[in-house]
């Protein structure tokens, strides 16, 4: 049974509409179930693989700079190349299965193969070490190389999937419930994160193989079912492609960056994504230096995630009631205060645990209220293209922030307290940029009469 259908002329008006798709309340709930089921697998993969990789990289001797380059800069460099191409092609693709799902389905086997490769990296590193003999750079460095290679393959699929997943949501979810949907989207993603931090984080070094294998299976099942069950509607014909290839680049740059309003949106969201990135990168290395073991850290992270789950739906309701930009500004003010507090007060296991909970919860508030901003401000017909430009800006910011933080921490003797210093600076910059976006948004009609330029 299709999740959406056309309404006969003698039937009552549809309850919900997204493009050419119309939904009864039951069909809308079914849509939410399949999208959120795919979301659970996606976020379990995203939230579990990266921390597991970080712990394994440190276990086998990778420096903070190498960790930052592999986990942050390399994926973002890949995004700069892949996302504009895939987003542009997806917006203009018309096929039997839609314009998003064909691209999304291809990423599933690639991600699963990459996770299996990560699971076998220590075995492959050991084999290479014995094979090279006296020429071997060492057991640990070879494992780091194997982890880096399969991480590259993993991120190849993740970059494409992350870009187009939000495009699919924008195409099939009605605007009137987008805030509440993204609240549930966040809840399900957080539940995936809780599954990892509460049950698996303390056992990563012992059971990394089983963790990678289990996540691969869950992801393959959930995301494949979502791609099968969610149906896209019909789209108007795309604009004719430029006659010359170099004009494609010009067209892309003009559509995305010619208007200063969109440049401010890109800046605000890209900066916001980097606020807690230094914390995410180095909290697993910081914890042991203040006597906080991974098991206890996992409990603090679980508490933070549970608080984020509790606040998600009320935040989604506030977004639908007052608009995402207004609520987002409030979360940024609170997050700025929390990061300043953390920099000056964290000094032992207890205060680090409190900072993880407080800063993480407020960061989750920002993320929940940020997710509807793109779907409500960008032109729907060009959403994936505009979103790919956002990813470019986000990638450039992370390519800069992560290695600079890693290099600074190496030179400061690994004083990881400074990750909150960076978070505070980035919070202040994000607040300023978002305020500019809000002023421009009001000038374009505000919540009642907004028309995307």
259: phi then psi, degrees, rounded to nearest 5: -100, 125
Question: Would you state the pLDDT for residue 168?
Answer: 86
Q: Could you tell me where the DSSP H helices lie in 290-382?
A: 294-322, 324-345, 349-370, 373-377
Question: Would you state the pLDDT for residue 105?
Answer: 87
* Helices 178-199 & 349-370 angle (0-180, nearest 10): 150
22 forms beta bridges with 17
Question: Would you state the pLDDT for residue 174?
Answer: 85
Is the pTM higher than 0.75? no
Question: Would you state the pLDDT for residue 5?
Answer: 45
- pLDDT-flagged residues of the chain (< 50): 1-2, 5-9, 11
**Radius of gyration of the chain from its Cα atoms, rounded to whole angstroms:** 22
Question: Would you state the pLDDT for residue 42?
Answer: 81
Question: Would you state the pLDDT for residue 183?
Answer: 79
3-class DSSP state of 16 = strand
Which CA distances in Å does 443 have to 252, 330, 435, 436, 439?
Answer: 26, 20, 13, 11, 6
| Max CA pair span of the chain | 81
For the chain, report the end-to-end CA distance as a whole number of angstroms.
38
CATH of 19-232+244-448, one of 3.40.50.300, 3.30.70.240, 3.40.50.720, 1.20.1250.20: 1.20.1250.20
3-class DSSP state of 183 = helix
Question: Would you state the pLDDT for residue 7?
Answer: 42
List the domain boundaries for the chain.
19-232+244-448
Question: Would you state the pLDDT for residue 336?
Answer: 93
Question: Would you state the pLDDT for residue 340?
Answer: 92
Question: Would you state the pLDDT for residue 333?
Answer: 94
Question: Would you state the pLDDT for residue 246?
Answer: 52
CA–CA separation, 297 and 283 (whole Å): 9
Question: Would you state the pLDDT for residue 151?
Answer: 86
């Amino acid at each position: 049974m299709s999740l959406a259908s056309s309404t006969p002329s003698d039937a009552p008006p549809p309850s919900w509409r997204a493009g050419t798709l119309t939904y009864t309340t039951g069909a809308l709930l079914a849509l939410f179930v399949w999208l959120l089921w795919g979301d659970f697998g996606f976020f379990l993969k995203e939230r579990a693989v990266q921390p597991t990789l970080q712990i394994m990289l440190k276990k086998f001797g990778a420096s903070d700079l190498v960790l930052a380059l592999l986990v942050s800069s390399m994926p973002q460099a890949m995004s700069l190349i892949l996302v504009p191409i895939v987003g542009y092609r997806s917006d203009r693709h018309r096929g039997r299965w839609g314009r998003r799902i064909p691209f999304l389905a291809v990423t599933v086997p690639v991600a699963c193969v990459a996770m299996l490769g990560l699971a076998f990296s220590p075995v492959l590193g050991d084999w290479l070490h014995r094979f090279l003999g006296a020429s071997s750079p060492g057991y640990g460095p070879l494992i780091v190389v194997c982890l880096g290679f399969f991480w590259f393959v993993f991120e190849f699929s993740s970059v494409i999937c992350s870009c187009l997943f939000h495009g699919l949501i924008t195409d099939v979810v009605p605007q009137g419930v987008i805030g509440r949907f993204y609240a549930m989207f966040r809840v399900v993603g957080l539940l995936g994160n809780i599954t990892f931090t509460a049950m698996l984080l303390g056992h990563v070094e012992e059971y990394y193989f089983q963790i990678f294998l289990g996540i691969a299976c869950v992801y393959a099942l959930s995301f494949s079912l979502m791609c099968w069950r969610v149906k896209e509607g019909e789209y108007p014909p795309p604009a004719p492609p430029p006659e010359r290839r170099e004009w494609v680049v010009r067209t892309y740059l003009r559509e995305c960056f010619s208007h200063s309003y969109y440049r401010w949106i890109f800046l605000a969201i890209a900066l916001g994504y980097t606020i807690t990135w230094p914390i995410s990168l180095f909290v697993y290395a910081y914890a042991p230096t203040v006597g906080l073991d991974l098991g206890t850290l996992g409990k603090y992270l679980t508490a933070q995630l549970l608080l984020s789950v509790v606040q998600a739906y009320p935040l989604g309701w506030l977004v639908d009631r007052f608009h995402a930009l207004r609520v987002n500004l409030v979360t940024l003010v609170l997050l700025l205060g929390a990061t300043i507090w953390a920099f000056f007060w964290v000094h032992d296991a207890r205060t680090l645990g409190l900072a993880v909970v407080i800063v993480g919860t407020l960061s989750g508030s920002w993320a929940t209220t940020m997710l509807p901003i793109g779907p409500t401000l960008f032109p729907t017909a060009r959403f994936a293209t505009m979103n790919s430009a956002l990813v470019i800006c986000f990638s450039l910011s992370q390519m800069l922030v992560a290695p600079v933080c890693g290099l600074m921490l190496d030179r400061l003797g690994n004083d990881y307290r400074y990750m909150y210093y960076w978070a505070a600076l980035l919070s202040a910059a994000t607040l300023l940029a978002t305020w500019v976006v809000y002023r421009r948004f009001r000038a374009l009609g505000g919540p009642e009469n907004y028309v995307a330029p």
